[in-house]
Structure 1
Amino acid sequence: MIELRSDTFTLPTKEMLEVIPTAVLGDDVYGEDPTVKELETLAARMLGKDAAILMPSGTMANLASLMAHCPRGSKVLVGDETDIYIYEAGGAVVCGGIMYEPIPTQSDGRLRIADLEKAFPDDASDPQFALPSLICLENPHNRKGGRVLPLDYLAEVKAFSESKHLPLHMDAARIFNAALALDVPVSEIAQHADSLQFCLSKGLSAPIGSMVLGSERFIEKVYRIRKMLGGGMRQAGVIAAPALFSLTNMVNRLADDHANARRLAEGLNKVEGIECNVDEVETNMVFFRIVDPRFTWQTFVRSAFHEGVHVAELGHGRIRAVTHSGITERDIDCALDIIGRVMRSGPMDLCQDS
């Protein structure tokens, strides 16, 4: 099976697994796991932040960050197509008493300043209104095709947030992909956010974990919230050791994923019945539509899976394919052959086949 549903399906390398048994361990709830501390120090240094904390997941990382920034009864301004708003189970509302204010998301992942401005009440002293306490950006933007927010736009939003005396949080799960696409150090992106989270278990291919970064005071608040949410881990060096390997050895190879995504998009663009905009492929994601009237997206996904290619729909009938360390150039060519064959043959009668 050629697995293209997500880069969360990456498997740790042999070298990652080999560093786990030799990791020096301690109790991280007490702040005494040296391997975790080494990982946190490295992550903070790479992204140019004062401090970092290891989290079990990106969902908890974002949730703890929002709760650290936002008082109960306030609202967070977040894109209506972002992962925080759609895919994280409303955690800020349930756990933090924080209201989401969905802002229209542009085709390239931006939130327009004019739309952010509309979320502020004309009279902030009116007790009827929940007041904004945080602005969130997603970069790269998942549901907008892995698009990368330009640095000048990030600076613009940061200036706006400062003018409103609000912090800016960045859901930067794939920030190393964004840095590669912009050809800048990852710290160039991170400098525009007061806090951010990135995932270790996506393109970086570590088995578990995400990082939250920000000021020392902010990370102290996240530390307490992580414990409250059940994310305090004991000998977490077994997680941190392969993550350390990822940060030191797996970042540069993301270029292979970007090249493979481009190769896939260019191939899909030539398949009759498929609509794919190659110019929108900036990182390791390819979005496409099935326009052949014989297919629905469901029948295409099922037919492709039956032939050995696993993709999935990700909003509005669009199909997403994500390249990663488990996908080679040969896999891309094989996937294109299979998809071409599926489109020529038409949808399979899988009910009868089963």
Structure 2
Amino acid sequence: MEQQAKICAQNGEGETHMVNLSSDTVTEPSKAMKEAMMSAPLGDDVFGEDPTVNALQEKVAELLGKEAALFVPTGTMGNLICVLNHCRTRGSEVLVGDLSHIHIWEQGGVSQLGGVHPRTLRNLPDGTFSLTELRQLVRGVDDHWPTTALVCVENTQNMVGGRVLPLAWLDELGVLCRELELPLHMDGARLFNAAAALGVPPSRIVKDCASVSICLSKGLGAPVGSVIVGSKDFIKNARRLRKALGGGMRQVGVLAAAGIYALDHVGPTLTRDHAYIQEVARAVVECKSEIIKCDPASAHTNILLLECDPEALPPSHLCERMDQVTDEEVAAIGERVVARILPITDTAVRMVVHCDITHEDIQSVINKLKYVIKEFDGKA
């Protein structure tokens, strides 16, 4: 629907309430987190001498039930290190979901930098894939073929709306991977959101994984960093790979301290973010729009996908409208609200709640979104 909205001037017409739901990577360290960072004891982590990094690594390894851990700058590097560590022979093949972060959002680094061939399985709407298809895609011995060396999963699954992989399916996958003698890696960027949603320790979710990468700067709200876990031997070689990829940082305890704070203080609050997403989802459903829809049952964690009718409303147009304020809108909802959201596919917009979002923010976003939906439906 063509919108001819008059945009209010930013000066002299009231303060604008800005709410950024484009990602959970947009958070800023709280005062308490900054204080923890500033007071952290430091050392040279390349030499293994940063006590705060060591404390973070020990903490994450214990939380995930693994022998050892390694702090790395980013989740992309963490996943890359894990894949290269499992696939040490060029021409190895990794089996990975076609909607996974490793396959879509990491620039093909496993092949670009590691000579590893990705082979995709079709991700189902719940984020899983067919275990029958997995068995069928494992290569036999043939000089013409790459060698299947690794299976990867993502939890939560970003591209299907932050869905949590079912524990029963993960258990079946673990059994199959042992049968096939293939290691299993989990991109657990939002693993702690999955654990909060399931009400289980994260170690339960990853019990069959040979390696896991978790992100501190997504739902947990730290400014930088990820951690990978595995066996002592796996992490020993991962440290070498981190150095080769330029990820050896020196007095990096100042960042690790933020990760420790996030695990201790933000991690326990993640269910709040999930509840906020449900509030938004229910509000959208109540609008009964034929143009903008969502499924609250599929919003397991802190991510909500708004499905748009692309003929009537391309996702980018909805995002642009949520970034604007009109005179009529202010009169109707009583405040100036700008809500940043992200077009993620040709038919869907993503909204992500994080630790910087308040209940007041959510109510303001709901009021604006309901008004905008009615506007596009021609009911405003």
**DSSP-derived class of the 1:253 partner:** helix
Deviation at 1:292, TM superposition (A): 8.2
Find the partner of 2:129 among 80, 104, 111. 111
Shift in alpha-carbon separation, 1:294–1:315, aligned structure 2, 3 A = closer
Query: Which amino acid is 1:50 matched to?
Result: E
Q: What is the alpha-carbon distance in structure 1 between the residues aligned to residue 39 and residue 267 of structure 2?
A: 23
Verify the 8 A CA contact 1:23 1:241 in the aligned structure 2.
yes
Q: What is the alpha-carbon distance in structure 2 between the residues aligned to residue 282 and residue 244 of structure 1?
A: 25
2:349 matches 1:332:
no
Shift in alpha-carbon separation, 1:267–1:125, aligned structure 2, 3 A = same
Query: What is the aligned partner in structure 2 of residue 47 from structure 1?
Result: 64
**DSSP-derived class of the 1:163 partner:** helix
Shift in alpha-carbon separation, 1:75–1:13, aligned structure 2, 3 A = same
Deviation at 1:270, TM superposition (A): 1.8
Larger radius of gyration: 2
Map Cα deviations across residues 33-73 of structure 1 (whole Å, 9 max, x no partner).
11100010011111111000001000000000000000210
Shift in alpha-carbon separation, 1:292–1:54, aligned structure 2, 3 A = closer
Query: Which amino acid is 2:60 matched to?
Result: A
Q: What is the alpha-carbon distance in structure 2 between the residues aligned to residue 212 and residue 294 of structure 1?
A: 44
Query: What is the aligned partner in structure 1 of residue 49 from structure 2?
Result: 32
Query: Which amino acid is 1:188 matched to?
Result: R
Deviation at 1:294, TM superposition (A): 4.0
2:87 matches 1:57:
no
Verify the 8 A CA contact 1:10 1:203 in the aligned structure 2.
no
Query: What is the aligned partner in structure 1 of residue 328 from structure 2?
Result: none
Shift in alpha-carbon separation, 1:82–1:292, aligned structure 2, 3 A = closer
Find the partner of 1:321 among 334, 348, 351. 351
Q: What is the alpha-carbon distance in structure 2 between the residues aligned to residue 281 and residue 197 of structure 1?
A: 22
Shift in alpha-carbon separation, 1:327–1:215, aligned structure 2, 3 A = same
Identity %: 39
Query: What is the aligned partner in structure 2 of residue 182 from structure 1?
Result: 198
Query: Which amino acid is 1:45 matched to?
Result: E
2:237 matches 1:207:
no
Query: Which amino acid is 1:305 matched to?
Result: D
**DSSP-derived class of the 2:324 partner:** helix
**DSSP-derived class of the 1:250 partner:** helix
Q: What is the alpha-carbon distance in structure 1 between the residues aligned to residue 276 and residue 21 of structure 2?
A: 11
Verify the 8 A CA contact 1:61 1:197 in the aligned structure 2.
yes
2:262 matches 1:232:
no
Shift in alpha-carbon separation, 1:327–1:228, aligned structure 2, 3 A = same
**DSSP-derived class of the 1:196 partner:** strand
Which residues of 2 match residues 277-296 of structure 1 at below 5 A? Answer: 277-291=295-309, 294-296=312-314
Query: What is the aligned partner in structure 2 of residue 86 from structure 1?
Result: 104
Q: Which runs of 5+ in 2 are unaligned?
A: 1-17, 326-337
Count how many residue pairs are aligned between Structure 1 and Structure 2.
345
The CA RMSD measured in Å over matched residues stands at 1.3
Q: Which 10-residue stretch deviates more, 97-106 or 331-340?
A: 331-340
Q: What is the alpha-carbon distance in structure 2 between the residues aligned to residue 344 and residue 178 of structure 1?
A: 33
Query: What is the aligned partner in structure 2 of residue 172 from structure 1?
Result: 188
Q: What is the alpha-carbon distance in structure 2 between the residues aligned to residue 293 and residue 343 of structure 1?
A: 15
Query: What is the aligned partner in structure 2 of residue 262 from structure 1?
Result: 278
Deviation at 1:290, TM superposition (A): 2.3
Deviation at 1:82, TM superposition (A): 0.4
Query: Which amino acid is 2:117 matched to?
Result: M
Shift in alpha-carbon separation, 1:227–1:300, aligned structure 2, 3 A = same
2:342 matches 1:312:
yes
Q: Compute the TM-score of the two structures, normalised by the length of structure 2.
A: 0.88
Q: Which runs of 5+ in 1 are unaligned?
A: 348-354
Q: Compute the TM-score of the two structures, normalised by the length of structure 1.
A: 0.95
**DSSP-derived class of the 1:315 partner:** coil
